Amino acid sequence: MERGEDVPLAGVWRCLRSAGVVVATCVAAVLALPAGPVSASPPVSGRFFGMHVSGLPAAFPQATFGTVNLTTNGVYWPDLETSSGVFDFSHLDAVVQAAQEHGAKPLLVLGQTPSFHSTTPDSTNVRSSMPEMAAWRTYVWNVVNRYGSSIDYQIWPEPNAAWNFIGTKHQLAQLVVSASHIIHSLAPHAIVASPALVVRRPVQRRWMDEFFATRVGGKPVGGSVDAVALDAYALEDGTPEDSYAIIEKARRILLAHHVSAPIWNVEINYGVLGGHAPTTYRYSDRKQASYVLRNDVLDAAAGVQRVDWLGWFPFPQASIQFVEADGVTPTPAAAALDLARTWLIHQHVRSCAPDRRNVWTCRLTQAGRDSWIYWVPEGRAHITTPRGSRRVQTVTGDVTATRAGKRIVVTSAPIRVYH
């Protein structure tokens, strides 16, 4: 497993100062280096905490979120343009209003193609087909003219997953560039996110690499987005540490293509088999809570600026459930999400890495005061509390007193040690 930070640019500069070395050789050499521990992430904002909420506008979660992902709300292009040139925004209006009334900024996914605007209308999977460019621009203009900068915009859902987009990478890049131009013109304060890319398998990361190598009008497609959207799922039996490693692999791809936009993790859960198959991985409440905390701490450490969990509804395709079968009652995983917010909001994650025993230590700083989060992915280990330690908080929220230099047990359920 890889772990670590962005590729150190200082290594590139040292390489370039060597006589007779070309840029590509230097970049390739540095990309091959093992990564070190993450350091100095930006402070975690309220927009970091996001959720897919299919129940909008009827009900908002019993939790605090800064962002809401509208992937599951039935607001793709064919849902809005009901016949050629006829738009119905009534449902989207209600969804957006409900999110905003709770202080959450919506992210609308632009895409999927109405059959009457497809370049291949006889396709068996017409919603995944390439649209006519004039119709695409009209659709994007209508949406952005209505909502402006009050929402953010992602271009297309998971185009590198099976059957989600059956055009070429260059065609997708054309959609991104044209939509970005319209959004930046009409809504200069809105964020344009790239297509959400699945990256858990090597073939999907190769697709990502090839997509960001694409140019439109001589310019790289990565220059047209303000954020890079990833669906940073681990493999079916993967852990938050695996997801973290996958994000770092994706970051290396972005660096190789000079893409500096921040990463958004716009869809995450665990135990996911793929497609619509119900998961066979049944996690205990304790394990679910542990994974929620570990995922959010690691994403913050990696500099990810937004994490959208899927989702606030019963979800048999995943192992982490935020509501009970009634679709309303929060679970221990939801409580862990609230605790993650308490632990992370406004914090800088200064470092986050495992030691030789695979004990993870993450140092957080706010207003000059440090705190530390510890866990081990499996089993048990001991740590010695650092200088300034006064209290320990567990994954259940319980707080006990401690002191500097005390030897305490850590397990897969993270603990926070603070003043």
How confident is the model at residue 41, as a pLDDT? 63
Beta bridge partners of 81: 87
Q: What are the sequence ranges of the domains in the chain?
A: 1-36, 40-347, 355-418
**Residue 8 pLDDT > 50:** no
C-alpha–C-alpha distance, residues 341 and 288, integer Å: 16
With beta carbons less than 8 A apart as the criterion, state whether 108 and 70 touch. yes
**Residue 187 pLDDT > 70:** yes
What CATH number does domain 40-347 carry, 3.40.50.720, 3.20.20.80, 3.30.830.10, 3.30.980.10?
3.20.20.80
Helix (H, G, I), strand (E, B) or coil at 153: strand
Percentage of the chain with pLDDT > 70?
90
1-38: string of b/e by CB count within 10 Å (b at 16+)? eebbbbbeeeebeebeeeeeeeeeebbeebeeeebebb
- What does the pLDDT look like over 130-142, one tens digit per residue? 999 999 999 999 9
Q: Which DSSP letter does residue 308 get?
A: E
C-alpha–C-alpha distance, residues 69 and 58, integer Å: 16
Confidence of residue 162 (pLDDT cuts 50, 70, 90): confident
- What does the pLDDT look like over 32-72, one tens digit per residue? 333 444 445 689 999 999 999 999 999 899 889 999 999 99
Beta bridge partners of 408: 383
How confident is the model at residue 375, as a pLDDT? 98
Q: What is the DSSP string of 396-410?
A: T--EEE--TT-EEEE
- Give the closest residue to 97 by CA, choosing from 40, 131, 56, 66: 56
- Give the closest residue to 261 by CA, choosing from 302, 229, 297, 218: 229
C-alpha–C-alpha distance, residues 278 and 272, integer Å: 8
Q: Other C-beta atoms within 10 Å of 168: how many?
A: 11
Classify residue 356 by burial, with Cβ atoms within 10 Å: 0-12, 13-18, 19+.
exposed
CATH class of 355-418: mainly beta
